[in-house]
Amino acid sequence: MSDGDDEVVYANGIDATTGEYLLRAMTTAEIAAAARSEASEPNRMGAFIKLTNALTNDHLGLPFDVNPLDLAQAGWGLVFSADEHPEVKAALSTLLAWRSEQVSGAARLKVLDYKSGETRQRWLARYGIAAGNIDPTRVPFYLLVVGCPSRIPFGFCRELGVEYAVGLLSFDTPAEYAAYAASLVAIERKEIKPRSRQVTFFATRHDFDQATQLSADRLVKPLSEGSLSGRVSCQFEKIVGEAATHEVIAEVLVRRDEKAPAFLFTASHGMGFPLGHANQRPHQGSLLCQNWAGPQAGAIERRQYFAGADLPDAANVAGLFAFIFACFGGGTPLRDRFAHNPGTQPPALAEAAFAAALPQRLLGHPGGGALGCIAHVDRVWSHSIVQARAGPQLIPFENAIGNILSGKPIGLALRDFNERFAALSVSLAGMLEQIEDGAHIPDVQLAAAWVQRNDAEGYALFGDPAARLQLQKVM
């Protein structure tokens, strides 16, 4: 975002029924007005201040003598809704039994429940913990939340993830939960061959579209062409612009040679469908490919985007990790916080919040599921990756990719994004307080904080946060 108050900001996401942007372009003045209209939440912001302090140490709020890289010390837990179906719980018994072999004593291995309507503070208090304090014998550091968001809200998981290493697991059937659990255990037991040291970046880029220009030029290009590949000892492949087609990403996902990626990073528009549309649940968040002709070309054709249903049974994704940078790529909340006038009730986006089908298909694949996926719940703001004067802000992305490729638990990959979310929440709250006291905050400054906070808030990890990517040894 530049210094000009009249800059136009584009959010990621395309309406499948019209081909136009899901959210119209907004000026910094309009964004600043939306930021000023946010209701004050002093209790929530106070909690974020404590969380920011907790997150600044090396152990992410854990006791000083607990190593977050050691699952036996940090602990692991399953979180089910209190009314979760017994078949879903049974489907994860294989994973629970495997983790029980790795955690030091029953005190650090937990099966916890969530009661409908609980806030993060009330949930932690029920287990004897206050915000900013982590005791793995009460609530383990690594938490796999099952059934988000159909039974456990995205908001609860998001706030819990600021302190804890949280992964979400959301499928439509017990069989998919069982398939993910079986695949993960097989990977960790070395029954599935480690992935090659290949990282594939797939990014659309349209000359008429500022959002994909930003993500391709200011995110994917420096990530794929910089020093990161050497630092993680991996081969980086870049598929950008004209090559970023439906056919190419389908080919990437069925590879079985040394070019089969261990890590797939995609950057594109995400598909959006209106409330009540038959394709909203199966296709929302799908990846719009390069053959999109622009917002004036009309409704999107099915061949122009890659959906969960396009991942064939023959795909080779067992042990893969994916990072999907796309609007609604991880899921869709109930209400739209952005496309409404200040002071009005946000309109419904969906009949109920739901997880996107593409990550579901990747993780629950019948031929062996992906290890995990980072994707966005709600909208992606491409402008959040570039700050005025400072240029591209790549460290959170580099650290997420680097942590995963270096074999650390995937639940640590979002640490920088969570810190950023907490810190920006506190900063934004401070600006709004100053405005209430009569101070003048420039629109561009307020708008930048609001966009960056909203973007950082949306990243979610799908999969067991204690899982580790298994790569072939460096030759």
Q: Tokens for 41?
A: 């939440």
To the question of domain 56-188 being in CATH 1.10.3210, the answer is no
In the predicted model, is pLDDT for residue 126 greater than 70?
A: yes
Do the beta carbons of residue 222 and residue 285 sit within 8 Å? no
Mean pLDDT to the nearest integer, 381-399: 73
Contacts of 442 (CB under 8 A, 6+ apart): 5
- Count the neighbouring beta carbons within 10 Å of the beta carbon of residue 393: 16
pLDDT for the residue numbered 133: 85
State the alpha helices, DSSP H only, in 93-173: 93-100, 120-126, 154-163
pLDDT for the residue numbered 62: 86
Mean pLDDT to the nearest integer, 357-386: 90
In the predicted model, is pLDDT for residue 163 greater than 50?
A: yes
pTM metric for this prediction: 0.91
Contacts of 164 (CB under 8 A, 6+ apart): 134, 139, 141, 142, 143
- Count the neighbouring beta carbons within 10 Å of the beta carbon of residue 425: 23
Q: Tokens for 174?
A: 């017990």
In the predicted model, is pLDDT for residue 18 greater than 90?
A: yes
CA distances from 396 to 53, 331, 403 (A): 18, 21, 10
Distance CA 332, CA 286 (A): 12
Q: What does the mean pLDDT of the chain come to?
A: 89
Which of 347, 354, 353, 374 shows the shortest CA–CA distance to 362? 374
Does 396 sit behind a cis peptide bond, omega within 30 degrees of 0 on the bond before it? Answer: no
Confidence of residue 4 (pLDDT cuts 50, 70, 90): very low
What percentage of the chain exceeds 70 in pLDDT?
89
In the predicted model, is pLDDT for residue 439 greater than 80?
A: yes
pLDDT for the residue numbered 128: 95
In the predicted model, is pLDDT for residue 371 greater than 80?
A: yes
Containing H/E element for 240?
strand 235-240
In the predicted model, is pLDDT for residue 175 greater than 70?
A: yes
In this structure, is the dihedral angle defined by the CA atoms of residues 376, 464, 474 and 255, taken in order, positive or negative? negative
Residues shown for the chain: 475
DSSP 40: P
In the predicted model, is pLDDT for residue 58 greater than 60?
A: no
Do the beta carbons of residue 340 and residue 291 sit within 8 Å? no
Contacts of 125 (CB under 8 A, 6+ apart): none
Question: Residue ranges of the domains in the chain?
Answer: 8-40+194-462, 56-188
| Strand 372-376 to 305-306 pairing | unpaired
Distance CA 416, CA 194 (A): 27
pLDDT in tens, 71-121: 999 999 999 999 999 999 999 999 999 999 999 778 999 999 999 999 999
pLDDT for the residue numbered 59: 44
In the predicted model, is pLDDT for residue 17 greater than 60?
A: yes
Which of 280, 376, 393 shows the shortest CA–CA distance to 331? 376
In the predicted model, is pLDDT for residue 192 greater than 80?
A: yes
Containing H/E element for 77?
strand 76-81
Mean pLDDT to the nearest integer, 362-380: 95
Mapped onto helix, strand or coil, the DSSP state of residue 94 is: helix
Across 138-147, 380-389, 440-449, the highest mean pLDDT is recorded for 138-147
Which of 261, 111, 290 shows the shortest CA–CA distance to 196? 261
What percentage of the chain exceeds 90 in pLDDT?
69
In the predicted model, is pLDDT for residue 383 greater than 80?
A: no
Across 51-55, 329-333, 343-347, the highest mean pLDDT is recorded for 329-333
DSSP letters, 316-336, are --TT-EEEEESTTSSEE-SB-
CA distances from 17 to 14, 21, 275, 295, 432 (A): 9, 11, 12, 11, 37
In the predicted model, is pLDDT for residue 392 greater than 80?
A: no
